Amino acid sequence: HDSVPQWSDSAKDDSDQLKRAMEGFVVKHAQTPYRTCLIKWMTATYQPLCVTANTQFRMMLKALNSKAPMFSRYSLLGHLNSAHVQGQALISHLLGEQISIALTMDGWTSSANKSFIGVSAHFINKDWKLQHVTLDVQPLDVEKHDAPSIAAALHKVMNRYRINPAKVVAVVTDN
- Residue 29 in this model has a pLDDT that exceeds 70: no
Helix (H) or strand (E) holding 109: strand 101-109
Q: Decide if pLDDT at 57 tops 60.
A: yes
- pLDDT of 46: 87
**How many residues appear in the chain?**
175
Beta bridge partners of 123: 131
- Of 99, 105, 107, nearest to 119 by C-alpha is 105
- Between CA 46 and CA 175 the distance in angstroms is 29
Q: Is the pTM of this model over 0.75?
A: no
159: which residues sit within 8 A by CB, 6+ positions away?
none
* H or E element, residue 132: strand 130-139
Residue 4: its pLDDT value, please? 42
CA gap 36, 28 in Å, rounded: 9
Is the pLDDT at 26 greater than 90? The verdict is: no
The mean pLDDT value of the chain amounts to 81
Q: Is the pLDDT of residue 150 over 60?
A: yes
